[in-house]
Amino acid sequence: MITVVGTGTGAPVADDVLAGAALVVGGRRHLDAARLPEGAERVVLGPLAPALDTVARYVGKELPVVVLASGDPGFFGIVRALAERFGAGALRVLPGVSSVATAFARIGLPWDDAVVVSAHGRDVRTAVNVCRAHPKVAVLTGPGAGPAELGAALPDGRVLVVASALGDPARERVERVTPAEAAARDWGTAVSVVLCLDEARALGAVRTVAGPAAHPGGWALDEGGFAHRDSMITKFEVRALALARLGPRPGDLVWDVGAGSGSVAVECARFGAAVVAVEKTPDGVERVRANARAHGVDVRVVHGSAPDALSGLADDPDAVFVGGGGRELPAIVTACARRARRSVVVALAALDRVPAVREALTAAGFACDGVLLQSSRLAPLPGDVTRLAATNPVFLLWGLRTPVPREGVDQ
């Protein structure tokens, strides 16, 4: 039997839990704080595979093993690796209080509506994009993915709560800092968790289902749900297919280039993606912001003309939507395709520009496809009858790369 004990946030390991253990595995600080049975082998956790091999030798001899871990070892912890190797039936798990629960308790906030993301041993960009998109996020940090790296990538308007050495009465610290302040400091190795908050929305609404808000119940929203100018908005039929090809999800960064009303940007943000909308007109910029507020999502709006404005965007997007047209369209698509990690979707009305857009996508290594969308909507006529009203045809072209795997973020 393998007993997995959660510790490190205030509760010491009881002596009776350790009694009789032939092998005790854990981090150095956990092992130093515990009174190990006389004669028990001690293994300090470093690389996981050798430690699991040692555990396997003891399990094969039916000798008792104790594994010490931080907080709740079933929450982004070692229980997963042990269950995969030895089976859940071989485990006796005694959870402690997770660092996430402890950090939220320290600042007096509920966390049933928080998004929790691990950056430990993972690409920090996923955590950054989740922090951009959601008002209440807990980030489990790691080397190269701590408060400084998060702060350097996040805009003003968020507050970072850095919780260090949780459960250690002499060393515990919980500090509120701006992203810029976080980026300017060396935080050492004692950080337990970082909370990223939009404090105006941090309390949140009463929830029935824990975790981030569910995917929207509907998408391809009616044009009437957005402020727009002279019907200059991506129609919902086009938006529906564009969203399918963009595939926005939590942890993604999406660009909406030539955003207009920002309808595509808003819809991507409703799926949990971080979104940057690029719009060249001042009234368009305000319109995008107003539509984002109306739908309760965060969209960063950049005032500028593509492709030049794109060079000021530091982070490469997972997916890009390009709307509008004009002579610059092929150059815009080329600039987007050079940086997009997964997909580029282009909506255009002019037949003449289809070959150039397709060439720009294929030249960047995308597999290109597309359709001409022509739809007719039901429209009432006098006398309680209905006719079909045709919308303007739109070409939708898209380029897709081989999918980039993102460990641990599927939802």
Among the listed residues 325, 322, 343, 347, the one whose alpha carbon sits nearest the alpha carbon of residue 333: 322
DSSP letter (8 states) at residue 94: E
Q: In sequence order, what are the beta bridge partners of 161?
A: 176, 195
For residue 411, what pLDDT is reported?
Answer: 41
pLDDT digits (tens, 9 = 90+) for 329-386: 999 999 999 999 999 999 998 888 999 999 999 999 999 999 999 999 999 999 889 9
pLDDT digits (tens, 9 = 90+) for 39-75: 899 999 888 999 999 999 999 999 999 999 988 999 9
From-to residues of CATH 3.30.950.10 in the chain: 100-201
167 pLDDT band, cuts 50/70/90, is: confident
Angle at 116 between CA 154 and CA 173, to 5 degrees: 70
CATH architecture of the domain formed by 100-201: 2-Layer Sandwich (3.30)
The C-alpha atoms of residue 83 and residue 92 are separated, in whole angstroms, by 11
Superfamily of domain 2-97: Tetrapyrrole methylase, N-terminal domain (3.40.1010.10)
Q: Give the distance from CA 283 to its chain's centroid.
A: 30
Over the chain, what is the mean pLDDT? 90
The C-alpha atoms of residue 166 and residue 172 are separated, in whole angstroms, by 5
The C-alpha atoms of residue 35 and residue 115 are separated, in whole angstroms, by 36
CATH of range 223-400; options 2.30.110.10, 3.30.70.20, 3.90.1180.10, 3.40.50.150: 3.40.50.150
DSSP letter (8 states) at residue 22: S
Which residues are within 8 A (CB) of 224 and not within 5 positions of it... i.e. 6 or more apart? none
Q: Do 258 and 323 form a contact (C-beta atoms < 8 A)?
A: yes
DSSP letter (8 states) at residue 167: T
From-to residues of CATH 3.40.1010.10 in the chain: 2-97
- Edge to edge, what strands does the sheet with 319-322 contain? 300-303, 274-279, 253-257, 319-322, 343-348, 394-400, 367-373
User: Could you tell me which residue, 224 or 326, shows the higher pLDDT?
Assistant: 224
From-to residues of CATH 3.40.50.150 in the chain: 223-400
Residue indicated by tokens 């854990």: 26
**Residue 264: how many other CB atoms lie within 10 Å:** 30
